[in-house]
Every structure is written in C-alpha cells, then in structure tokens.
Structure 1
Amino acid sequence: MISGIDNVMNLGELLAQIARRLPDAPGFIRAGQSYSWRQLLTRVDSVAAALRARGLGKGDRLLVHSRNNLQLFESAWVAFRLGMVWVPTNVRITPPEAAYLGSSSGAVAMLYDEGMAHYVDAVGAASPALQQVIAIGAPRTGELSYDALLDEGAALQADFRPAEVTYHDPLWFFYTSGTTGHPKAGVLTHGQMAFVINNHLADLMPGLNAQSRSLVLAPLSHGAGIHALINVARGAACVLPASDRLDCDEAWRLVQEHRIDNLFTVPTIVKMLTEDPAVERYDHSSLRYVIYAGAPMYRADQCHALRTLGKVLVQYYGLGEVTGNITVLPADCHDAEDGPQAKVGSCGYPRTGMQVAILDEHGNQLPTGSDGEICVRGPAVFAGYYNNPEANAACFRFGWFHTGDLGHLDEQGYLFITGRASDMYISGGSNVYPREIEEALLTHPAVNEVAVLGLPDEKWGECGCAVIVVTAEVSDEQLLAHLQPRLARYKWPKRFVRWSQMPKSGYGKIVKKQIRALLEASEEPAL
C-alpha cells in the first residue's frame, strides 16, 4: 500500500492566497462601502487570533445567527482558519429551532446579529456547551463584542497561522431544511469542499476571474455561502444589497453599477427579478452566469427569463449533502425556442467527477428511461450526518448516496426529475408524481404558481389537490380542459384551491409541508 499525506490545505487559506495576490482589489462590497482582500484577511485573522487566545480552536462549533452582512461573511473564514466548524442558521427560523441547532451541534460559541438576543437566550437554555457569545451589535453583560475582538486581535493577527487539518476534518455543518422532523447536520469537510470549489469552477462558472463580480441575493448561510467560496477562490468580489429583503430595482441597479457577471439564487427569485419592470431600466448585459438551484424551474418561467436576459441561465441539481454536485445544465442547453440544443425538462448531466444512477428498492440499476430513485457517488458527497447513525444508514446503501428524489436518465445521460419519493401519491393503484401535473398547469397563462399534493380519498385512496395562485379568473373546468391533451385523466387533480400567495421557506422554495397543514386546517397563508 502506498503511504500518502493525510493533511490537506485548510480551506481558509483561499482567503490568504487571494489577499497576497490581490491585496488592494475589492473583495466585499455593500451599501457603497468596499473592503479589500487584505482588509478582509486582517479582520478575519484578528477575530480568529482573539478567539484562539480565549481557548477556541480546532473541532469547536461556532453557531452563527445573522442576516446577510460583512460579519456573517467573515465568520465562515474565521471558523475555517481556526479549524472550527461553521454552523450557520437560516435567519428566519424561530428561537426554539435555533436552540435545537445549538444543542444538536454542540456549539461552544455563538455569533448573533443585532436585535436577535432572544435567540441567544433560547440557545443558551438548551445548550450546556455554549461558552462564548459574540454580539455583532452592542453586547450584553457577559458577552463579547465583534468589534472589540477585532481590536483585541489586531496585535496578534500578524502571527496567526491557520489550524492544520486533514481531508476528513469537518468544516461546516450544513443543516437540512427540516421539512420532515428535525433538521439534520450534514458534515462538509475541508477536503470535500476543496473538490466542490474546483467542480463549481469547472462546471458552473468557467472563466471566472478577479474582474468578476457576484451579486448575493440568497442567504450566505446555505447555497449562497458555497457560491461565495467559489468567488473568493478566484478573487471575484461579492456585492450585497443594502436591503435585507429582495428589492428588484436595487438588484438591477447593482448589476449595472458593478457590472455583475454572476449570481446564484432560486427559481422563484429569478422569476421575480425578470418579471419586475426594473429589469428594463438597467443594463444587465454584463451577466454571464445566472445560476439557479434548489428546485426545478418551471418551463414558462425559464422561457421568460431566457427571452429577458439571454442565454445566461445555468441550472444545477443537488442537495446540501452533495453540495449541489449532482448534475449541471449549462447555458447552451437552455433554449426558449425548444431548439436542437435544448434539453427541456432536464436538470442536466452528471457533474465532473460525479456518477449518477437510477436504482430500484433493491439497489439494482434501472435501464435508460425507467423511473427510480436518483442516487449519486463521488468526492462531493458529504461525510454523513453528524451524530445520526440511523439517517446515515438510510441514505448510504448499496454503495450510493440516496437522494430521496425520483427520476430517470435518457440515452445521453441527462437526468429528468419526476419528484420527491415523499411527494408521490397513489391514486386508484397508480403512482402519481405531482411535478408532472404542476408543470402542465403552469403552461396555462392564468396560473402563476402551483403546488399539487395527494390527499386522502375514500374511493381512490388518494387524489390530487392543486393549490394555485392565479393572475386572472379561471374555472376548474377550464383548467381540466387545459390538462386534457397533456395528462392522463387519472393524474388530474380532483380539487383546486385558490390562494393569494404560497408559503415559502427562507430560501424561496414552496413548502408543501406547510401547505398540507394549512389545507388540513382549512386555512390560507396570512399576508
């Protein structure tokens, strides 16, 4: 057996390398204030040195509850360079949910944003391991101030050296959305994430360089945070809107002002951006990569975005557990006119270095065109769920990671997602996949958003209920007439429910768990 070196580069070295190579170039821009790469590294190492002097270091967990801001961006690099595990939250969760993340991760330190002290109280009550609390704003008694740590570590940062790490050392606890039960902490490691960064550069944004600029429109705590790592690796500055909520006019103004060439978001945000009148007021010709993930984009929305922005859409499919690295559908495979290059309905082909298979319940690979569970393997797959052997046993079987998604591969290896295994329902003995029905309904000009769920039915076992948001009046009969040439009759929804809005997660995804609960309670989401 050949002996190798276990140690790998601490991923936090990416920031140091860029700071040495491009010290005065901008790295982070928000509200007219710009920080150079050298300033960012100095700030990060100052905080890291101050925390190390207080006893924090390799293997400790840092829980972060914050809106998108400079300190959230820096906290990832602080944790990486200390060898700590970064545990960011979705800022929209409730205090009890944050308490669960703090206790389940074993967080020993917590960084929190202004106005969110009640989250600290909830975490502290549930997490006996919590030792240090760091306030981005004014600290309370017994807490540390982020700004004070900057000052305290200023004299130490010149001598700071990042922690030594191995390939398998945890870097980030990437919590799942928790649509069923408690969220699970996916363990992302230094070695795995180095592969992910290279893979994103190869498959999503080839040619990214230090002149590139990235607009951050999604929470840095999850997918946008991974996207930010990619930009740092090439010295491309991240540009954050001043507003905490999506302001389409501000977004398009920033695209024009900073000559933004890449952004990462979810399909619902692409839809909002391209349907807003502001898209016509600003120059967006600098855009090269509008990357969307988190959910498939409905064909009608895809066509509108392509006609508005040009061929700049890039889709990738993946889960947090595989850090997005399952398939990619590059710009040349997107076509609003269904041309020969278009792969309509596909989420793309396997990512570089990754393998995708469709398996049955016994672990057998199914033939081309057959529906089954989408499974994947390769260096981007996470190390497993932290402290959750049952979940690991369920998702790692037959030598593959099991996504829980259903789909099939075509002759060229392009993947088509049918839906979530948990979304499928059985009506009159036939499997029904909501995604197919949703796509068909969205081709009706009056239907703006839709979610289809299987609900109990005395005669058929389950029948479909379509919750829709419409832009004009449309009867059930008109909708069924629209479906008639598109779908077999057994797939037609038995019931249509009209709401003024859909419940969505903090990442802009329609949340079927909430929709089901509201339907069972005969309620509509509050405006």
Structure 2
Amino acid sequence: MGQHSLVWQGIAAADPDRTAVRGADGRHWSFAEFTRDAAGLAASLQDQGLRPGDRVALLMYNRPEFLVAFYACLATGIIPAPLNYRIRARELVDLLDDSQAAALVAPDSLGDVVSGALDLAATRPVLIRVPDGPGEVGGSGPSSLAWEDAVAPQASLPAAPPEDAELWIYTGGTTGRPKAARWVAADLFASQRFSTYTVLGLPAPEDVVGAVALAVDPDTPRVVTLPLSPFIHGTALTVSLNTLTLGGTVLTTDSPRLDAEAAVRMAVDEQATRLVVAGDAVSLPVLDAADAAGVRLDRITSIYSSGMRFGPETKRRFHAHGEMSIIDLLATTEGGGFAVTQTCGAEDLPGRPRLLETAVVLDEEYREVQDQVGAVGILASRGPLPLGYHGDERKTAETFPVIGGRRHVVPGDWVRVLEDRHLEFLGRGSSVINTGGEKVYPQEVEEALLSHPAVLDAVVVGLPDPRFGEIVAAAVAVAGPTTAGAILDHVTPLLAGYKKPRHLVVRSVLERSPQGKLNLARLRQELERDRGAQREMEGTP
C-alpha cells in the first residue's frame, strides 16, 4: 500500500498546517514545512551527485533534522542509514566504509568524532553540518554544507519513490561488528500495521489514499509522541514514523543524553499522549523526576518499549498516573515484532507476551509448535521481512531461512508455548548482552581489553542489573602490575560508553580447560558475587 513518505506528502497536501515535528527549543514544522525542507535537502543531495540507491549516514540523536533527512531519503530512493551517535572515530570509519556512505549528516557537537573519522576514511562523504553548538563539525569545503544551505533549495519531492527504495538499520552482528538490515521501505511500512493502527483500535487502510484520509479525519485520535529512547533504536524510529503516518506530532528532546526532568516538563507542556522508552533504564529516571516534581503524566495514553527489561513494578507506577496502555514488544531490527505484552491497568500486571499474527514458534527441526502448549521452541516470523544483511550472504542465509517454501526470520529467541498463543520468554541463544536497549557482543569488548599490553586473556559476560537489564562485566588475566582502572582507561577511546565494562575483575590467570574453554556459568556467578560485595562496601543498593 505504499510507504511512509507517500502518506506524509498526502497529509501535507490535505492539511498543510498540521504540526508534524516540534523540537525542545520550540521550533516546529508543519507537514507542509516538513515536506518543504525534505524536498530542499533531497535537491541538495542530488546536486552533490547522490542518486537512488546511494547511502546517507545519519549520525544524529533525536533532533528534527534527523526526521527531515530520513524523509528526504525515503521520498527519493536514497538510502538512509542511521548510525549510533555514541561511537568513536575508528568505529565511525568502519561504518562509513561498510555502508559506502556518499553523504553524512552530523551535528557540530560530534565534531571531534566526525573530524577524526574523516581524516581516516578512504573516501570522504558529502558532509551536512547541523548546528547545535559552537564550531563546525568537519570544517568547511566543497564537500561540506551547512544545514540551512542544504534545505534552502526550492524543490518538490517526486510523486512517488522507487518501488524498491530501501532503508538500512544497523544492528549487531555475531562477531560484534554491526550489520545493516536492508529493509525495502514499503515492506517496513507493511510490517507496522499493528503498531500504527491495531493498537489504537483503528481499521488498517488498504492504500495511501485511505491512510491519508484516516490521518486527517477529525475523529482519528491525535497522537503526540515523545521518544525518550534514540531514533537509532528500531522501536523509537518506527513508532515516530508511524505517528507521522497517523497525522500526529513527534517531539524531539534535541539532546544526546536523557534529561529526565526536561523530559517530564516537555511531556506536560506539549501534552504528549505517547512515550517511547527503553524499559526500566529510561522509565525509572522519568518516573522519579515526575514524582519529585509532583507531576502526573495523565495525558499519556500509551507507552511503547521493546528489547529490554520493563518490570511490572515500573509499569505499575506508570499505570498509577492515569489510564494508559503499555505496549511491551518483543521485536528485532531484522523482523519487526514477534510478541507483545500489553497492559491497560495495574490489574493486568504482570502481563504475558502473546504472539503476533505473523509470528510462529519452531522446534529444533523447524516444525511449527506455537499451538502445542508446553512446547519449547525458537521464535520466528514470516511477515514482511528485510532483504537481508548488507554484505553478508552467509549470515543472511542463517537468519532468514526458507522453511516450507516461505521465507522466515529466526533471530535466536527461545520461548515456551502457553495457552492462547501466550509465551514464556526463555532467553537468547547467542551471547549478546543487552544493556539499556543497546546490543553488545563480547568479542569486540574482549579485543579491546586484549589490546592493553598487560592483558593476556579476557572474557566478557552480561550480569543482571535492575535498571539496565544487564551490564557488561569482564574478567582479565594480566602479566605484571596494573589495575582495573588503568585497563578501563585504556579501552575508553576504543569503545562506545555502553560497551565499556561496568565491572572488571583482574586476575593472574583465567582457568581454561585444555581445550581453551571457560566455565562461563561459574565465572558469571563469581563476577556477580564480586560485584555484590563491592556494591555492599560502597553502600550502593
């Protein structure tokens, strides 16, 4: 039935003054202005030689310019590729090389990272500089444009984007190296029918004309979404795109860090009706800030989260603020949603995840068992799916197997089947650490630790944490005198902050078997005990 950008263009024509995006500094874009700036940016990118299929890297936190750039790309068939703004210069070089980005959109505040990466990059992308502070990111020159100049051209968007227009969303790979999941934009749009329409009790329209009519219908609830997790997370991005598709407004915090007090003020002042959080990691500071300010979040009617722990007591605190629906999704970048735990009040807690229509459970022989109560299997989806991973045919074949003549995605989540399509989540089959909604793979962290001259051996695991779900913890074997603090200082410039171990134990040796294997279960228990003893000494709860 089309894609997001087509609906936005239709809304701009039908109701041009409707507010699409509002920033924390009070700047706002109507749908007409949102479309105007996207058209201007698209024209500038084309003037710089970009064509459909070329990539634009978006190194950006939640700012209106992110959404404008995303719109410009979707509407023209240029591929937007959001990157994690917490990465270091060396990591940015790797991602620019992997995506072969022809352009990079980045704010001045990330100038050191961008400048360092551009000095090392094999080819220099066109740089679009977004002002958010003093200085100029990456300097100026013929391949550098200030944002205000980039959106200035008077232009129109194409009547329709190419049918095969893509967007890329980077996710972790099994070796810790990020991989881009390649979505056809129309397929991602189709995969969002539940999140866009069903959760609001709205009938899903059959085409773009119907979607535009529903968006501008006075009887359609006006959604005002405040994403408090970054757009680089699939849920924050897709819920924001879907909000615009409903003719709603997206609020942006314009900050790379969570300011819980400012978030509460914005939610109240802008009358937000929907929050996007990353489980307890975001929710707890926001709830504490609301309590401290004596504020009730009673205009919020829905809260979305996915990918990390969202405890029942945290949900209970939200439900105490008023009537709201909490949608806790089990979802992945590679396959959209698999299951949802939805609660409408404290009486529904703790809630149980329930399979979405497109999801199935497979046993070890890939036979469907979602209707067999008590069966244990692996989650899969056969709905709209990405094309696969950019540049990795082997991993694409593993993750997107063809079963019974139909393509599935099997990301690695194990569950037990309960009655009426409900599930008990058992865990991931891989060693991924999910900390605050960010994926961390141990091998990358271990390589950084091993680059310290005194470190002989290293192992990285996830430990449970009440706020972040898990934290990154490590044990290292060293030769000669050194300290945990010195090792952590060494890896600081090598790893994004969320990848850096929060707990590190230094030993003379790690007890490996003759085959080189470690007893990870025992090591994890030892690290948990050590961390607990340390927190008790520090008086940390």
TM-score (norm 2): 0.72
CA contact (8 A) 1:111 1:134 kept: yes
Q: Which amino acid letter does the alignment assign opposite residue 162 of structure 2?
A: V
Match of residue 265 from structure 1: 277
Aligned positions of 1:463-474 closer than 5 A: 463-464=521-522
Q: Which amino acid letter does the alignment assign opposite residue 463 of structure 1?
A: A
Question: 3-state DSSP class of the match of 1:107?
Answer: coil
Aligned partner of 1:416 among 406, 411, 424: 424
Match of residue 233 from structure 1: 245
Aligned positions of 1:379-398 closer than 5 A: 379=384, 381-397=385-401
Match of residue 18 from structure 1: 11
CA contact (8 A) 1:373 1:405 kept: yes
Match of residue 281 from structure 1: 294
CA contact (8 A) 2:316 2:349 kept: no
| 1:121–1:256 distance in 2 versus 1, CA, 3 Å | closer
CA distance in 2: counterparts of 1:314 and 1:89, whole angstroms = 26
Match of residue 149 from structure 1: 150
Question: 3-state DSSP class of the match of 2:394?
Answer: helix
Aligned positions of 1:152-171 closer than 5 A: 153-154=153-154, 157-158=155-156, 160-162=157-159, 164-166=161-163, 169-171=164-166
Match of residue 292 from structure 1: 305
Deviation string 1:322-365 (CA, Å, 9 cap, x unpaired) is 13x21122234xx54xx5x5564x3x22224x1221321x3234
CA contact (8 A) 1:464 1:495 kept: no
Match of residue 181 from structure 1: 176
Is 1:85 the counterpart of 2:79? The answer is yes
Question: 3-state DSSP class of the match of 1:229?
Answer: helix
Q: Which amino acid letter does the alignment assign opposite residue 114 of structure 1?
A: D
Match of residue 359 from structure 2: 355
Match of residue 376 from structure 2: 371
Match of residue 218 from structure 1: 229
CA contact (8 A) 1:9 1:165 kept: no
Question: 3-state DSSP class of the match of 1:305?
Answer: helix
CA contact (8 A) 2:54 2:78 kept: yes
Question: 3-state DSSP class of the match of 1:357?
Answer: strand
Match of residue 27 from structure 1: 20
CA distance in 1: counterparts of 2:304 and 2:400, whole angstroms = 29
Deviation at 1:124, TM superposition (A): 3.9
Question: 3-state DSSP class of the match of 1:86?
Answer: strand
Q: Which amino acid letter does the alignment assign opposite residue 367 of structure 2?
A: N
Deviation string 1:451-470 (CA, Å, 9 cap, x unpaired) is 69899878994435668xxx
CA distance in 2: counterparts of 1:55 and 1:463, whole angstroms = 54
| 1:170–1:81 distance in 2 versus 1, CA, 3 Å | closer
Aligned partner of 1:250 among 259, 262, 269: 262
CA distance in 1: counterparts of 2:309 and 2:165, whole angstroms = 30
| 1:301–1:179 distance in 2 versus 1, CA, 3 Å | farther
CA distance in 1: counterparts of 2:29 and 2:429, whole angstroms = 45
| 1:279–1:80 distance in 2 versus 1, CA, 3 Å | farther
Aligned length: 439
Is 1:498 the counterpart of 2:495? The answer is no
Aligned positions of 1:38-187 closer than 5 A: 38-124=32-118, 127-128=121-122, 130-137=124-131, 138=136, 139-142=139-142, 143-151=144-152, 153-154=153-154, 157-158=155-156, 160-162=157-159, 164-166=161-163, 169-178=164-173, 180-187=175-182
| 1:494–1:165 distance in 2 versus 1, CA, 3 Å | closer
CA contact (8 A) 2:264 2:289 kept: no
CA distance in 2: counterparts of 1:123 and 1:462, whole angstroms = 36
CA distance in 1: counterparts of 2:181 and 2:254, whole angstroms = 31
CA contact (8 A) 1:50 1:149 kept: yes
Deviation at 1:121, TM superposition (A): 4.1
Deviates more, 1:131-140 or 1:402-411: 131-140
CA contact (8 A) 2:361 2:377 kept: no
Deviation string 1:356-413 (CA, Å, 9 cap, x unpaired) is 21321x323444323332222212x222111101111221235231111111221211
| 1:234–1:50 distance in 2 versus 1, CA, 3 Å | same
User: RMSD of the TM alignment (CA)?
Assistant: 3.4
| 1:162–1:126 distance in 2 versus 1, CA, 3 Å | farther
Q: Which amino acid letter does the alignment assign opposite residue 46 of structure 2?
A: R
CA contact (8 A) 1:463 1:494 kept: no
| 1:28–1:454 distance in 2 versus 1, CA, 3 Å | closer
CA distance in 2: counterparts of 1:75 and 1:58, whole angstroms = 14
CA contact (8 A) 1:110 1:134 kept: yes
CA contact (8 A) 1:249 1:278 kept: no
TM-score (norm 1): 0.74
Structure 2: gaps (5+ residues): 203-214, 433-460, 476-509
Structure 1: gaps (5+ residues): 1-7, 425-433, 468-491, 502-523
Deviates more, 1:52-61 or 1:82-91: 52-61
